[in-house]
Chain A
Amino acid sequence: MVKRQMRNLHSVFLFFMIFFMASLSVFGMEITLHLDKNELTQEDQLELQVSIEGDEDFNSFPKLRGTEDFEVQSSGSSSQMSIINGVAQSKKIFQFILMPKKAGTFTVGPAEIEVDGKVFHSNEEIVKVSKSQSNKQETNRPVFIETSVSNKEPYVNEQVIFTFKLFSRVQITNASFEKLPEFKGLWKEDLQGEKEYETVINGVPWQVTEIKYAIFPSEEGKMTIEPFQLVASVVTTERRNNPSPFFDSFFNMSRRLQQVRLRSNPVELNVKPLPNEGKPINFSGLVGNFSIRSELSKNSLQVGESATLTLQAEGNGNIRDGKLPDIQWDGFKIYDDRPELNLRKTDKGIMGLKTIKKALVPLRPGSFQIPPIALSYFEPQSHSYKITETQGFSLNVVQAPQDDRESLSLTSPASPSNLKKDIQVVGEDLMPIMRGNGDLTNESMEIREKGILLFLIFLQPVLYLLGIVLRKRREKIFQDKGYWQREKAYKKFKSDFQSLDQEDTLFGNASGLLKVYLGDKLNLDGKALTPMDASRKLIPYKVSSELVKEVEEFLKTCEAGQYGGGPWGPQEKKKIKENLLTIVKKLEKEVRV
């Protein structure tokens, strides 16, 4: 007996053990984080591996903690399933590439994975990222990139040359930008396409690919040009392990492509504001080196004729944004033409020539000295504002002869000329301003005015609909003589009911009121209706049999009261009145004509 009990206890224990082990199997996940190195420079990349082993299959992707200071890219995953002694084991490896954003010591990890609502954590790793290496160390690598700017502390709108260089001493293929920097807060112009040349560093020839941009900071303050990121395949050659005795050494080499990811340094700029000290009132906004020249098409002309003044500003800098000086001279009307811009992109930046033509129309005769025209700009080299000037001119204006038109008409042919010429526009200007008194508010509309107008507009279709209803009613009254009587029956009853007293005549009057109402409603002579007639007449109008009976009973009661006499108390009389009102209200609802 005891043995049997022990055996039962064993089987229960075994069952619990199996159940317990089965429940533990969820916790049998092992997650490991592994790095290929723990020390690197800012340009290096780190290979991170997360391996997850366990007897549970899962589909979730691990989360990496502590990678905020790195750019993380997944570089693939592999999985493996094995069954040992009937137990399934799965192993998954996730690979990542980490590129540091800055120097410092960082804790990478843990990697986390969630399986069946439980989160498993891996180990953590310490990584030390040192600052960029010098070029000497860079040259130890087969490929590297370098970015630089011509000036790290430019002024707002000053032209800065940004240079990107890809150095390689091995053969590379399929090079492409994975990430181009955002030139945030900068205006960028491409200066040239890719330029390729060879250079020698420490006696080693390097192939260089160079790209240049002209950048113009549009705001003051510190700004960073984010790194360029490039992916390329490096061609490497290896000697075969079992060289063929029949072929020469060339055929014993195997060629292999190895993908590399390169990243440039971020470039920091400290953009200075243009100084307020010495800033000319009519500052053109130009920053760089500029010159201005002018040319006048003729030095002598008549009043009303026009001479063309050509102004040309040329220089190295933000010529696109610069404004050429406005001119206003007494005795002349000046019309501006649209400025023309010619940009020349060189290695040294953007050179530009801005030309504007102005038509000068003299208003009176005389000898005029045209003053020099000044262009102000900021010169970053000398940290000061400069003014460059054109030469002055003298202009002789003579009065147009009065008899010009007459003499022309004498010599012109009488018939219209066939040789018509297009009118040449020599200047443009705004139309004159509007003068005159008047209310300066009457063209606008307030919301209130709009609301009222819309109300009036949309009231009209409503009135039209009301008109339709009114017309239908009129037509009905016209076609159906009893319509009006029917419509007014209840109103008439109500007014007569008010004057119904509780005297002895009450029964006769109440019965009369109901009969008149029925007569009006059913379009017949109501006064002659007997209780039986009333009920018979109501049946075709689909009035409920209860109501028909009520009407008949009421009329009979009234007749009994009227002719039978008897002592009727005020309570009974009051009830008669109430009954009458209730019956008529019900009839008003139920009788449909």
Chain B
Amino acid sequence: MKILLFLILTLSGISFNLSAGDPPLNSLFQQGNEAYEKGNYLQALTHYEQALKKGGKSGKLHYNLGSAYFRLGRIGEAIFHFRKAKDYLPRNPDVSFNLQYARKKAIDRIKTEKKGWLDIFIEQIPLNQKEVYYFFLFSSVLFWGICISLLFKKNEALRWMRLFFALPFLASFIVWGLQLANNGDFGVIKINQTGVYSAIGKDNVVLFYLHSGTEFGVEEKSEDKWIKIVLQDGKKGWIREDAVIVN
């Protein structure tokens, strides 16, 4: 009973959080939009960044922020925010277009092997994290609900329904698992050029140089403000934290 009460209270807490509007956040977003429309990209950027600091977490905000960075010639940050926007709005064609467009401006070309079908499948999942979770819950309630009903009442129609709902349940489980496994940190180079070192510290060997807009995966973050990165072609090394933007 206590657990039930806790659940009800926590869920109501969530719904309260979700429904509570934050006027300053919205007004910052609107101010940013107005500045952007007038061509004051730096001002727009400041408003969007403030909105982000105040807890703004939406595809729209990241998308507009990415656009402002792009207009200011800061390709690294633009790509980063377009990628974040795509996480929230995976079906939005404008987000995909802008991300592709910004990626064209990146200097470094990274040779990658042909993508496996699994990578292509993960990229094509048209749901964001929240949608995946709710889809999983919904399909799970349907499937297990029918299974439990069948324990106490034998019914041919219910048997067919169980078979029918097993498919979305399995699909949602696989998608949830893949998204969970593929949810590693990523980052983008934000300065014109930076060296990637063999170990932490500038005294080490520079393995290669990367330029603004190059994307990488984050393997490790050290307390000395250095990050171990891995490129798509498997190259690895350490890079200064202030040269990159990471999630």
Interface residues of A (CB under 8 A from B): 182-185, 187, 218-219, 285, 321, 323, 326, 328, 338, 428-446, 448-450, 452-457, 460-461, 463-464, 467-468, 470-471
Interface residues of B (CB under 8 A from A): 7, 10-11, 13-14, 17-18, 21-22, 25-26, 29-30, 33, 36-37, 39, 51, 55-61, 63-64, 67, 70-71, 73, 88-89, 94, 97-98, 101-102, 104, 128-130, 133-134, 136-137, 140-141, 144-145, 147-148, 151-152, 192-193, 195, 202, 205-206, 209, 211
Residues in chain A near residue B192, CB distance under 8 A: 285, 321
B4 CB to nearest chain A CB (Å): 11
Tell me the bound Cα distance from A185 to B206 in angstroms: 7
Which of A434, A439, A470 is within 8 Å of B64, CB to CB? A434
Tell me the bound Cα distance from A431 to B85 in angstroms: 14
Which of B33, B58, B205 is within 8 Å of A433, CB to CB? B33
Is there an interface contact between B33 and A441, defined as CB atoms closer than 8 Å? Answer: no
Residues in chain A near residue B10, CB distance under 8 A: 448, 452
Which of B21, B63, B147 is within 8 Å of A464, CB to CB? B147
Residues in chain B near residue A450, CB distance under 8 A: 133
Is there an interface contact between B205 and A445, defined as CB atoms closer than 8 Å? Answer: no
| 9 A-B interface contacts by CB (under 8 A) | A182-B206, A433-B36, A440-B61, A442-B18, A443-B128, A444-B58, A445-B129, A453-B136, A464-B144
Tell me the bound Cα distance from A184 to B209 in angstroms: 11
Is there an interface contact between B57 and A326, defined as CB atoms closer than 8 Å? Answer: no
Residues in chain B near residue A432, CB distance under 8 A: 94
B2 CB to nearest chain A CB (Å): 14
Task: Decide: A430 near B98, CB < 8 A? Known: A218-B209, A457-B136.
Answer: yes
Residues in chain A near residue B211, CB distance under 8 A: 321
A154 CB to nearest chain B CB (Å): 16
Is there an interface contact between B7 and A452, defined as CB atoms closer than 8 Å? Answer: yes
Task: Decide: A434 near B130, CB < 8 A? Known: A464-B148, A467-B148, A471-B152.
Answer: no
Residues in chain B near residue A448, CB distance under 8 A: 10, 13-14
Is there an interface contact between A453 and B137, defined as CB atoms closer than 8 Å? Answer: yes
Tell me the bound Cα distance from A471 to B60 in angstroms: 51
For the residues of A in contact with B, the DSSP-based class is: loop
Is there an interface contact between B33 and A440, defined as CB atoms closer than 8 Å? Answer: no
Which of B13, B14, B56, B151 is within 8 Å of A440, CB to CB? B56
Is there an interface contact between A338 and B104, defined as CB atoms closer than 8 Å? Answer: yes
Tell me the bound Cα distance from A88 to B136 in angstroms: 82
Which of B29, B51, B58, B137 is within 8 Å of A443, CB to CB? B58
List 20 extra interface pairs beyond A338-B104, A446-B14, CB under 8 A.
A323-B73, A429-B101, A430-B70, A437-B26, A438-B60, A439-B21, A440-B25, A440-B51, A440-B57, A440-B60, A440-B61, A441-B18, A443-B59, A444-B57, A444-B88, A445-B129, A446-B17, A448-B14, A464-B147, A471-B151
Residues in chain B near residue A431, CB distance under 8 A: 94, 97-98
Task: Decide: A460 near B140, CB < 8 A? Known: A430-B101, A433-B36, A444-B130.
Answer: yes
A343 CB to nearest chain B CB (Å): 14
Which of B25, B97, B193 is within 8 Å of A321, CB to CB? B193
Tell me the bound Cα distance from A552 to B67 in angstroms: 92
Residues in chain A near residue B151, CB distance under 8 A: 464, 467-468, 470-471
Residues in chain A near residue B37, CB distance under 8 A: 433
Closest 6 CB pairs of A and B: A444-B57, A460-B144, A431-B94, A440-B56, A433-B64, A434-B60
Is there an interface contact between A442 and B58, defined as CB atoms closer than 8 Å? Answer: yes
Tell me the bound Cα distance from A233 to B227 in angstroms: 45
Tell me the bound Cα distance from A431 to B202 in angstroms: 40
Tell me the bound Cα distance from A463 to B209 in angstroms: 56
Tell me the bound Cα distance from A248 to B63 in angstroms: 88
Which of A428, A437, A441, A453 is within 8 Å of B133, CB to CB? A453
A262 CB to nearest chain B CB (Å): 23
Is there an interface contact between B57 and A441, defined as CB atoms closer than 8 Å? Answer: yes
Residues in chain B near residue A430, CB distance under 8 A: 67, 70-71, 98, 101-102
Chain B residue at minimum C-beta to C-beta distance from A442: B18
A223 CB to nearest chain B CB (Å): 10
Task: Decide: A434 near B63, CB < 8 A? Known: A461-B144, A464-B144.
Answer: yes
A269 CB to nearest chain B CB (Å): 15
Tell me the bound Cα distance from A455 to B206 in angstroms: 47
Is there an interface contact between B137 and A441, defined as CB atoms closer than 8 Å? Answer: no
Tell me the bound Cα distance from A438 to B33 in angstroms: 14
Task: Decide: A441 near B56, CB < 8 A? Known: A431-B94, A464-B148, A471-B152.
Answer: yes
Is there an interface contact between A433 and B67, defined as CB atoms closer than 8 Å? Answer: yes
Is there an interface contact between A443 and B206, defined as CB atoms closer than 8 Å? Answer: no
Residues in chain B near residue A461, CB distance under 8 A: 144
Is there an interface contact between A463 and B144, defined as CB atoms closer than 8 Å? Answer: yes
Residues in chain B near residue A471, CB distance under 8 A: 151-152
